[in-house]
Amino acid sequence: MLGRPNELTLVEKPVPQPRAAEVLVRIGATAVCATDLEVISHGQPALVQGGLPFERNFTPGHEYMGTVVKLGPGVDEFAVGDRVAVEVHAGCGRCERCREGMYTACTNYGLNYGHHDKGHRANGFTTDGGFAEYAINHINTLVRVPADMSDEEATLIVTAGTAIYGLDVLGGLIAGQTVVVTGPGPIGLMAVGVAKALGASPVILVGTRQDARRLEIGRQLGADALVCVDDEDAVQAVHRITGGKGAHYVMECSGAPNAVNQAARMLSRGGRICLAAFAKEPVLVDLAYVVSNNIYLFGIRGEGKSATRRAASLLAQKRFAAKLIHTHTFAFDQVPSALRQARERIDDAIKVVVKM
Ligand SMILES: [Zn+2]
Ligand SMILES: [Zn+2]
């Protein structure tokens, strides 16, 4: 349970009970995400009972998998014993965005309490999450996990889902096109794997010298070219690799202050940028360059339009080895150590997983 900022304590809570269209999941493993660290330290983007998540009996964690152990009334889409991974956002199902499949941008975000109960769920953000033994999930947020996939790898399905959603909003015409991924964090590395699996060529991954291990994993996930910004100007490198043409797409996963300006200059005219990272501060963008070159900018949050289902399919087909980004495992009573491992990138940590 999250108390004051950065204060997590192990407490006993009643096992929650599934309602209509919900199941109870016994959690097998939960991955630590950079956004968990944000929530635990600063609160946002979590929103619990209309406010910051501190001292509200709230359990964080949103990238988890487990086993269905109880069905809500009328549920026949899943059976007790099914292994499942989850997507984070259930959405309210009744607002304009949810009806369009954009439930990660639900306009009733956080409205799930008292007189404001619209049924919205985003586990680990607006409802209890995965650093627990049990969690309630809406059936729409569940995907089946193949028997030969480990618990740890299954926690990465939702991360790959975010990468797929990013490529979706860029227009989805990926085969034979140049995709640059800036920032080799978990989403960036999954974007490399997904782009390659969908036929992008070449796939170019950009990182820093500190990211050396991540860049190498990016190569194993399918990157055709690696660019280290400490050794070479990233814009010049992309133009060199593309024979001066520039890229069709940039997936911006770094959140670096100048990332949008750099991404715009990596593109050919008319290219598209997907913003998948949170910049820490407001940034200045050269909009005249963006407009005069007909550059499109898209922002995504999370994993809308059932992208997680497609991610699960790609991983089940073994189109890329998502498990390469899982680097460390901790036991449930070591959640604070797991968070520290991820926050401080100890021993080059990429994905840290807490296993029940
Ligand atoms: Zn996450
Ligand atoms: Zn909604």
- Over residues 41-55, the pLDDT tens digits come to 999 999 999 999 999
Q: Is the pLDDT of residue 102 over 90?
A: yes
**Could you tell me the CATH superfamily of domain 163-299?**
NAD(P)-binding Rossmann-like Domain (3.40.50.720)
Token pair 């460390």 is found at: 328
Which residues are registered as beta bridge partners of 136?
Answer: 24
CA neighbor of 217 nearest in space, from 177, 181, 263 = 181
Percent of the chain with pLDDT over 70: 100
Homologous superfamily (CATH) of 22-159+304-355 is Medium-chain alcohol dehydrogenases, catalytic domain (3.90.180.10)
Dist. CA 127 → ligand 1 center (Å): 15
Q: What is the pLDDT of residues 144-201, one digit of tens each?
A: 999 999 999 999 999 999 999 999 999 978 999 999 999 999 999 999 999 999 999 9
Q: Which residue has the higher pLDDT, 221 or 172?
A: 221
Angstrom distance (rounded) from CA 283 to CA 15: 44
pLDDT for position 169: 95
Q: Strand, coil or helix: what is 250?
A: strand
The whole-number pLDDT of residue 113 equals: 93
Q: What is residue 181's predicted lDDT score, i.e. its pLDDT?
A: 98
Q: Give 227's pLDDT tier (boundaries 50, 70, 90).
A: very high
Q: Residue 294: which residues within 8 A CB-CB, separation 6 or more?
A: 269, 270
Ligand with minimal distance to 161 CA: 1
Ligand 2 mean position, distance from CA 126 (Å)? 13
Q: What pLDDT score was predicted for residue 202? A: 98
> How far does the centroid of ligand 1 lie from the alpha carbon of residue 88, in Å?
8
Q: Comparing 20-29, 219-228, 278-287, which segment has the lowest mean pLDDT? A: 278-287
pLDDT band at 64 (very low <50, low <70, confident <90, very high): very high
CA distance 155 to 19: 24
Return the domain boundaries, the chain: 22-159+304-355, 163-299
pLDDT at 201: 97
Q: How far is the CA of 212 from the centre of ligand 1 (A)?
A: 22
190 CA to middle of ligand 2, Å? Answer: 27
The β-bridge relationship of strands 203-207 and 142-144 is: unpaired
Structure tokens at 96: 């304009």
Query: Would you state the pLDDT for residue 116?
Result: 86
Rounded to the nearest angstrom, the distance between the alpha carbon of 269 and the centre of ligand 1 is 32
The ligand whose atoms approach the alpha carbon of 303 most closely is 1
Residue with tokens 């949170």: 278
CA distance 350 to 324: 9
pLDDT of residue 78: 98
**Residue 275: pLDDT over 90:** yes
What average pLDDT does range 250-260 have in this prediction? 97
Q: What's the 281 CA to ligand 2 centre distance in angstroms? A: 28
Q: Are 266 and 180 in contact (CB under 8 A)?
A: yes
Residue 86 Cα to ligand 2 middle (Å): 18
State the pLDDT at residue 278.
85
Q: Nearest-CA neighbor of 18 among 78, 105, 87?
A: 78
How far is ligand 1, taken at its centre, from the CA of residue 241, in Å?
Answer: 31
- How many whole angstroms from 87 Cα to the centroid of ligand 1? 10
Ligand nearest the Cα of residue 186 is 1
What's residue 280's pLDDT?
A: 86
Cα separation, 278 vs 299, in Å, equals: 10
- How confident is the model at residue 172, as a pLDDT? 78
Ligand of minimum distance to the alpha carbon of 33 = 1
pLDDT at 190: 98
pTM for the whole structure = 0.96
